[in-house]
Each structure stands twice: as structure tokens, then as C-alpha cells.
Amino acid sequence: MQYFLDGYRSGDPRIQPVAEGRSEVQGPLPEEVDVLIVGTGPAGLLLAAQLSTFPEIVTRVVEKADGPLEVGRADGIACRTVEMFEAFGLAEKLTTEAYWINETHFWGPAPGDTSRITRLGRVQDVRDGLSEFPHVIVNQARLLDFLLEYMHNSPSRLGVDYGHETLEVKVPENPDERVTVRLKTAEGEKTVRARYVVGCDGAHSVVRESIGRVPQGHGEDKAWGVMDVLAVTDFPDIRFKCTIQSAEAGNILLIPREGGYMVRLYVDMGNIAPDAWLTKEEVLAKAQAVLAPYTFEVKETAWFSVYRVGHRVTDKFDDVDDDQVESRTPRVFIAGDACHTHTAKAGQGMNVSMQDTFNLGWKLISVLEGRSPASLLHTYNDERHVIAENLIEMDTRWSRAIGAAQDSDDPEAAMKGLAEVQRQFVTNSEFTAGFATHYTPALLTGDDRHLHLASGFPPGRRFHSAEVIRLGDAKQVHLGHVHRADGRWRLYAFADMVDPRSPSSRFNALMDYLASDASPIRRFTPKGADPDAIFDVHGIIQQSHLEVDWADMHALLKPHKGPLGLQDYQKAHAPVLGTDQDIFDLRGIDRGAGALVVVRPDQYVSLVLPLDGFDALDAFFSGFMVEPN
């Protein structure tokens, strides 16, 4: 963590100075804003947290509830989501409170005595090397608390306008006019005009309905009872994630919760009438029947709900019809459950929802800051819609596997079905960990023609971090953790085998180019801004940190910045040598040629280029960035 760039301040460095023109307490909702976010679920607050660090962008968040969520709802946090929270500086707080899922256990009818259940298998939940972070469980309310605190500590001191129900969103024909949002409050109706509106208002989204978008797919009559309980039990795997299938009583998904005592049960209640409701006593009785002959005595129920969820994907995630893409740019967006709904079996809803707005946030920042044309915003639907479709496809396969094991009356077939559930879990482990997203070649993602230079960083995939030694202070750090949720691009230059101090080094030649007026760094960084205000360049050499001094590195990697002209000591790195953790080996970097890896503000790799790929680098950024006036 870096701070004091603008001068010394006492107190918690995570609390940033309030921006000029802002106050410690957020004022009334203004009549005009830049971005209006509707809804305070994970998607909405993740977007709000990103935008809160840009006080020059007037962002407000409205929520129809009277206050923040206190308990319940989603709880599974995929490894990829923890990586994303690291960009906000929240991963340590998240993982400290969380329950870590280390293994998943599979229970089913005991062979020879199907009246009993027995453990039929166990697998490591996240395979080694997939991420430096675990798969964890945290109450959604606590996760939202972390984001709200981040917003409050930001320069804009962004808060939530609770008790504001969105009634209607109207998009004017004139692109110069703002979108009109009609709100209902305790004092009566109010109208807000916004340059952009983002609907994160759930499966029954008013924003989605207002722009004429339609969820496509099918619903289900099958109901799931969900309970967070404190219980006394003799079930031996109560502190492991378990899928449990009985021969006669049905199935449950058991998720241990944070704190060491609480557990969540997802109880399959089967098909029920659309207007029917279930009591917690009925759901508990079903769970106890599945767990028999083990006992399960509930001492306290912290939260209970029943839900029916189908597989649906909304036809488009913005307000621009396909035949208008060339003539209009999006003004209204939807994200999260407003875009896609599915079962809870794969534990992906909250995670994919936050990835939606992590994708959208930096693009809104780029457009509102004048770095990119508004046409960049078309890429949100282009990239995220296919991800939602892939999510539904995977969830459908998983649901069918569980259903096949559940519905078979043949014990042998049921056992094969349970084996298929375990196989599907292992097969889909990358998906459930959040790493299946692969953006295809387009405006923001290059092809893989140079992938041989850095095979561990395929374009379109998330940047897979590994540890390095920081030259400036010899600290062992994760390279990917330099990435902040600040709208900046990261350029990671992996040096060729020539000594980086030598004039013949391709690495040095790249640094010379990036520091020149011809480079995209100079062209697209506003005059007077810090040299790394838009592009954060890091160099990784092959030599040990004991062989090369930080002082010998190129001046581009030692920039002076801030009002005091202080020097940055954290942009040059060396491998972790003497172990099997050398980043050049772990990520398949060509030691002879080196490589340049370009990473988007949302942590996804855009390009892998040779160190002398100057023209390709310039052409890439020229495709969607504009030079500042």
C-alpha cells in the first residue's frame, strides 16, 4: 500500500482526504448526476465503490429499502472475486472473517443399506496453483458493509440514498439530453436526470422493464428452502461443504458459515404450486430427513427464505437495439440479477454480478473522464452477455447432474448419478472458481499470435498473479496485487535475457519507446498529470535482486510524481529465485525474447506482444482512446 504521495497525514491511510467541493456528509440527492446506480446489491455497490474514487464524476446510489442489508442472501465468494476485492484493498479483511472452503464432500445412500447416507467422495475445492486466494463464505451483508465502508472512505464520501424507489426510467431521443429517472420517496415523487443509469435492481428490475428488455428462458416450480442456523448435530462433516443425496428424502447442499458455528442449508423442496409457501419448520423437517440417521437440532435460525429461480438471460444488457448500434451509444445499463438468473447450486450469482459491473465501471470512468469515446460502452453488452449465457449453460448441466442422481429409483443408476455429480464438480472447478471468463478477440482483446512469448497470460483471461521480489526494498509481493481498482491500464514488461542495464537489451529499448513522445503513454496521458496516471508500467527482470540495483533501472520505472515530486520505488521487480516460484517459469515467459503483457483496468489480459511490438501497441490503444485536449 502506498500513501503520503500528497504529503504527510496522520490517521488511517485508507481514509482518503475528502475532495474539494465534497463534504464529510453526503448532501441531498441532486437533480442532475453523471451516474445513477439503482440498487445496493453486490453489483450496484461494487460499481459505486469503483466510481467513488473519482469525485469529479457525480455518482449517486438509490435504494428502495430503508437501510442496508443486515443478514442473509448470497454467501459464496469465488477465488476470482477475492482477487477483484484485492484491487480495492479488501481481500485481507474479507478472508480474515470468512469461512474457507478447503474440500467438498459428496454424500449419498450407503451401498447395501440405502436407508443411511455415507460419504462417497471428497475433493479439494480449489486445485493448487489456480489462485493465491481461497474460495470463501461470507454473509452478503458483510460483503456489502466492506464496499459501503470503502465508498465512505473515498474522496467523494459516497453514500446511499435509502428509501428511494425507482418508478420509471425514460431515455430521450436527443443524445444531448439526460436520462430521466422518476423516484418515489417518503416526501413524494422526485425526478433525477443522469448521463448514465445502471440498473442493479434485481430479477424484477424496473430499469430493465423501462428500457424494454426481456428475460428469456424458463422458470421453475421447484422451490429451495434456505436456512442459516446454529445447530447441534452428530453429522461428522458439518464443517465441510457437502452435497448430500438421500435415497428417499431428497437432497441438500450444506455450506459451513463464517464464525465457526453457523451453517447454511439449501434444501430441495421439489415442485410446489406457484402460489404456495413453505414454513421453516417444513424445510427443517426435510433437511433432517435427508441427514437421517444423523441428528440435527436447530438452536437458532438466523435467516430463512424460500425461492424459486429459473434459468433466464435478458436479451440485451443496455438500451440500444442491435439495428441502432452504429447511430446510438448506450445510456442505460442493467447488471446482475436484472440480466441473468439461475439456481444457487453453482454459487455463481453474486460473483458474476460483481464481474458485470467491474467490467462496466472502468469503461464509464474512461468515457466520463474523456479518455475514450462513448462507443466504448457497447463493449459491455458484447462481452458480458456471452458470459451470462455460459453461466446458464453450466448451471443447467450441474442441475441436471444433481437431478439425475436424485430422481433415479435404481440404486445402481443413482450411484452412477452421484459419481457424475462429483465428476461435474471437478470438471467445472475452473468455472466455479470464477476463472472461466474468456473474452474473445475484439476491440479490447487481442489474439493469441504472440502467446508463445507468455503462455501463462492468454489474452481474454484474467491476469494470473505470481510472486516477485520488489527491487526497491527486496520485499516478496504478488505482482498482480499492484493492480488497483483505479481505472488504469497495467503494462508488465518481462525482460529478455540480456542484462537490463545494457543498451542492447530489448527491455531497455521498450522503456525508451514508452518514455518517448511517440508512445501511447505520452499521447494519452493528460499534460500535467502524473506519468502513471493512465498507464502503470512495471518491469520484471530475469536476474536476481542481489545482482541488479534498483538505481540501475530505467528512469521510466522510477517516476517522480505528486505535488512534491516524490519518486516511486515499486515498479521494478525480480523473480523469486532458488525456488520453483520463478515467475518466468510459472507463466511460460520466453526467456530469450521477453514479453509485454497489457492488462485492462478490470484485471483481464488484453495483449501479449514482443518487446519491440511498438506499432501494435500504439494501434491497439488508438482504437478506443482519444488524446486529451
Task: Tell me the C-alpha distance between 519 and 307, whole Å.
Answer: 54
Residue 313 is predicted with a pLDDT of 93
Which of 457, 503, 465 is closest to 483 using CA atoms?
465
Residue 346 is predicted with a pLDDT of 62
**Mean pLDDT score, 372-385:** 98
Query: pTM (2 decimals)?
Result: 0.95
User: In this structure, what C-alpha cell is assigned to residue 377?
Assistant: 460502452
CATH code for position 36? 3.50.50.60
Confidence bin at 517 (pLDDT 50/70/90):
very high
Please determine, for residue 308, whether its predicted confidence score (pLDDT) is greater than 70: yes
Residue 577 is predicted with a pLDDT of 85
Q: Tell me which of 405, 432, 459 is where a domain ends.
A: 432
- State whether 351 and 415 are in the same domain: yes
Structural domain includes residue 463 = yes
Helix (H), strand (E), coil (C) string for 250-297: CEEEEEECCCCCEEEEEEEEEECCCCCCCCHHHHHHHHHHHHCCCCEE
Structural domain includes residue 489 = yes
- State whether 513 and 601 are in the same domain: yes
Task: Tell me the C-alpha distance between 483 and 570, whole Å.
Answer: 12
Which of 341, 340, 346, 311 is closest to 421 using CA atoms?
346
- State whether 64 and 151 are in the same domain: yes
- State whether 255 and 127 are in the same domain: yes
Tens digit of pLDDT for each residue in 472-483? Answer: 999 999 999 999
**Mean pLDDT score, 441-468:** 98
Specify the range with the lowest mean pLDDT, choosing from 157-166, 281-290, 419-428, 597-606. Answer: 419-428
Neighbours of 177 (CB within 10 A): 13
Sign of the CA dihedral with 448 first, then 453, 456, and 457 last: negative
Specify the range with the lowest mean pLDDT, choosing from 261-275, 466-480, 487-501, 553-567. Answer: 261-275
CATH code for position 269? 3.30.9.10
- State whether 49 and 179 are in the same domain: yes
Confidence bin at 345 (pLDDT 50/70/90):
low
Tens digit of pLDDT for each residue in 14-68? Answer: 999 999 999 999 999 999 999 999 999 999 999 999 999 999 999 999 999 999 9
Please determine, for residue 387, whether its predicted confidence score (pLDDT) is greater than 90: yes
Please determine, for residue 121, whether its predicted confidence score (pLDDT) is greater than 80: yes
Tens digit of pLDDT for each residue in 561-571? Answer: 999 999 999 99
Structural domain includes residue 392 = yes
DSSP state of 589: B
Confidence bin at 442 (pLDDT 50/70/90):
very high
Residue 69 CA: distances (Å) to CA of 76, 193, 271, 301, 611: 16, 27, 29, 17, 49
Name the residue type at position 125: D
Tens digit of pLDDT for each residue in 311-337? Answer: 889 999 999 999 999 999 999 999 999
Structural domain includes residue 12 = no
Residue 427 is predicted with a pLDDT of 72
Which of 171, 197, 181, 180 is closest to 47 using CA atoms?
197
- State whether 363 and 498 are in the same domain: no
User: In this structure, what C-alpha cell is assigned to residue 229?
Assistant: 442456523
Query: Under DSSP, is residue 419 helix (H, G, I), strand (E, B) or coil?
Result: helix
CB within 8 A of 450, min separation 6: which ones? 595, 607, 608, 609, 610, 613
Name the residue type at position 465: S
- State whether 171 and 228 are in the same domain: no
Please determine, for residue 606, whether its predicted confidence score (pLDDT) is greater than 90: yes
- State whether 207 and 328 are in the same domain: yes
Residue 34 CA: distances (Å) to CA of 54, 172, 318, 372: 11, 15, 17, 16
Confidence bin at 409 (pLDDT 50/70/90):
low
Structural domains of the chain, count: 3
Task: Tell me the C-alpha distance between 159 and 148, whole Å.
Answer: 7
Neighbours of 67 (CB within 10 A): 10
Average pLDDT along the chain: 93
CATH code for position 573? 3.40.30.20
- State whether 518 and 606 are in the same domain: yes
- State whether 393 and 274 are in the same domain: no
CB of 126 closer than 8 Å to CB of 119? no
Task: Tell me the C-alpha distance between 64 and 399, whole Å.
Answer: 33
**Mean pLDDT score, 194-200:** 98
CA angle 53, 54, 58 (to 5 degrees): 120
Residue with cell 440500444: 320
Q: Tell me which of 306, 338, 357 is where a domain ends.
A: 306
Specify the range with the lowest mean pLDDT, choosing from 32-46, 56-70, 426-440, 541-555. Answer: 426-440
Please determine, for residue 413, whether its predicted confidence score (pLDDT) is greater than 70: no
Tens digit of pLDDT for each residue in 212-251? Answer: 999 998 766 578 899 999 999 999 999 999 999 998 898 8
Structural domain includes residue 24 = no
**Mean pLDDT score, 492-510:** 95
Residue 201 is predicted with a pLDDT of 97
Q: Tell me which of 281, 306, 331 is where a domain ends.
A: 306
Structural domain includes residue 81 = no
**Mean pLDDT score, 137-154:** 96
Residue 539 is predicted with a pLDDT of 98
- State whether 428 and 516 are in the same domain: no
Cα 148 from chain centre? 16
Structural domain includes residue 595 = yes
Task: Tell me the C-alpha distance between 439 and 454, whole Å.
Answer: 17
- State whether 560 and 513 are in the same domain: yes
Which of 205, 214, 77, 204 is closest to 146 using CA atoms?
77
Confidence bin at 428 (pLDDT 50/70/90):
confident
Owning domain of residue 275: 101-131+221-306
Structural domain includes residue 27 = no
